[in-house]
A and B are shown apart, each in its own frame.
Chain A
């Protein structure tokens, strides 16, 4: 059985040991599902954050038009942090 088959077809429940820690009735299917979910979530969060960034940018511009420079400056800072958050999430995805 190749690696792919093991990953996607090895779904029976059984006892196994990981680093001396005993798990009982553990399903590999659950593990696979969690892993898939995390992979999709990481990509989704990046996309979702980008959509927030667009809104932040729009409202930073509007704040400037309202003469609220300090508000705009802080929103722009939030955009920077959001971009950093996305870099971290993309880095996390590389390690999946």
Chain B
């Protein structure tokens, strides 16, 4: 789909934290996420990578 899935970077791989992400804003060491239904999540971390073709947002926790 055109929406993305957000993942947290863990030692044992990627942990899915939000599907259907339509909004993402990195700010002051936090990443604000919102999905199709408007549900929001704030993660303490930095955007490590965005894979546009795969629709993946990869976040590294602080």
Residues of chain A at the chain B interface (Cβ within 8 Å):
44, 51-52, 55
Q: Is the interface of B mostly helix, strand, loop or mixed?
A: loop
A-B contact count (CB 8 A): 4
Chain A min CB distance to B54 (Å)? 10
Residues of chain B at the chain A interface (Cβ within 8 Å):
1, 53
Chain A residue contacts of B53, Cβ below 8 A: 44
Chain B residue contacts of A51, Cβ below 8 A: 1
Chain A residue contacts of B1, Cβ below 8 A: 51-52, 55
Chain A min CB distance to B27 (Å)? 30
Chain A min CB distance to B37 (Å)? 14
Chain B residue contacts of A44, Cβ below 8 A: 53
A44 and chain B: residue at smallest CB distance? B53
